[in-house]
Structures are given as C-alpha cells and as structure tokens.
Chains A and B, each alone.
Chain A
Amino acid sequence: SQKIEQNSEALNIQEGKTATLTCNYTNYSPAYLQWYRQDPGRGPVFLLLIRENEKEKRKERLKVTFDTTLKQSLFHITASQPADSATYLCALDDSSYKLIFGSGTRLLVRP
C-alpha cells in the first residue's frame, strides 16, 4: 500500500529565509499531489495541487515541485514570515474518492 513520509522533526528557520519541506512516497506514482496547512486545533486548509505531468507549481510565495522518478515533492515558502508557522501536510490520491495524508512537518519561523 502507498505510504507517505514527511520529516517528523520540526523545521526551525529565521524569518526571511526559504523553508523547504519534503514529502516522499513509496509506491505507485499518484495522479496528483497536494499540500495543506494545518494550524493547532484547526482543520487542514488546501494550499496547492500539482499533477504528475507538472514539474513545478507556484502560488505567491509558495512553490511545489514533483519528481516522479525520485517519488518526491518539495514544498518551498520563500521570504518566510512568523505567520507561516504551522504544520504542513502532503496528500496523495489513493483511489477515485480518497486521499492519503502524511503526518506533516511542523514549521517554526523565528522573527
């Protein structure tokens, strides 16, 4: 079955730097991959979706890459701000109706 691996250790960076989070999957290549943001005590919020035939997707300060050869997606936040501090989850399609979510990586941006 498909497994998703995200770094369980928190990523601690200085404001203004670029944060890079990693999502690795182990089995079949998904049709698309998504990134969500989750704040403590809240539900996840969708950020970006990238399809298997896309190498890169951008939205404002966010950039996602998708390498089906490496079975990896990288999520970048440029010019990071303390307000970007949250847990970031990646998710893959498991079937036509379901997603599998990673356990997330917590990002801490120091002022």
Chain B
Amino acid sequence: SQTIHQWPATLVQPVGSPLSLECTVEGTSNPNLYWYRQAAGRGLQLLFYSVGIGQISSEVPQNLSASRPQDRQFILSSKKLLLSDSGFYLCAWSGGRWVETQYFGPGTRLLVL
C-alpha cells in the first residue's frame, strides 16, 4: 500500500532563516506531487505541483521554492523565512494524468518568529 511521509512534524524558525521540508511517498511510481499551505481556519492553498522528476509548477509567487530530485521525493525550501510563511504545510500525491483522489501526508506546522 502507499504511504506518504513528511518531516519534521513541527518547526519553529526565526525570521530570515532557511527552510527545508521533505516529503516522500512509498508504494507507487511516478506520482503527481503537491505542496499546500493552510492558514489557521482557512482552506488549502496550492503552492507547487510536480508531474515528474525536475518538473515543478508554481501556483503562487512567493518566498518559497520546490524541487523534486527523485521520483518520490518532494522538497519545499526557502532561503529566508518571513513571518507570513507560518502555517500548516501539507504534501499530497495522486496517480495518473487525471487527478481524481489526492492522498495527504500528516503535515508540518511551521511557526516563524
């Protein structure tokens, strides 16, 4: 069966520090991968998605970047965090060209102080 992992679960970082969040998927090949951010009490904002290694589509211009160095690994990064980067970051995967169901990881709660 497929499993999706995210780490760390919680992160507290000072403003201006770098960020690296990692997501890995097991049990499937060539998944579509997604990074979302969810502000408290709000909906899911799609940040990036990837349909293959090295292929990244950015949905919202911002202080973040994403990379997909391996088929089942998706990384969210920032060189300098802003206060507004605080939130709940979720990684998800889906199979095939037509999205249908997305499967989410446990999330990373990021607090920038």
Asked if A89 CB lies within 8 Å of chain B CBs, one says yes
Contact in complex: B44, A97 (CB < 8 Å): no
Contact partner of B43 among A43, A46, A97, A104, CB < 8 A?
A: A104
For chain A, the count of residues having a C-beta within 8 Å of the partner chain is: 21
Asked if A44 CB lies within 8 Å of chain B CBs, one says yes
Known: A34-B101, A43-B104, A46-B103. Is A98-B49 also a contact (CB below 8 A)?
yes
Closest to A6 in B: B43
Which of A41, A44, A102, A104 is packed against the most chain B CB atoms within 10 Å? A44
Instruction: Classify chain B's interface size.
Output: 20 to 34
Docked pose: A97 CA to B104 CA in angstroms:
15
Chain B residues with CB under 8 Å of chain A are: 32, 42-44, 46, 49, 51, 57, 88, 90, 92, 97-107, 109
Contact in complex: A43, B107 (CB < 8 Å): yes
Docked pose: A45 CA to B104 CA in angstroms:
7
28 contacts between A and B (CB under 8 A): A34-B101, A41-B88, A41-B107, A42-B106, A42-B107, A43-B90, A43-B104, A43-B105, A43-B106, A44-B90, A44-B104, A45-B104, A46-B102, A91-B102, A93-B98, A93-B100, A96-B98, A96-B99, A97-B49, A97-B57, A97-B97, A98-B46, A98-B49, A98-B99, A99-B99, A99-B102, A101-B43, A104-B43
Docked pose: A102 CA to B107 CA in angstroms:
18
Contact in complex: A102, B90 (CB < 8 Å): no
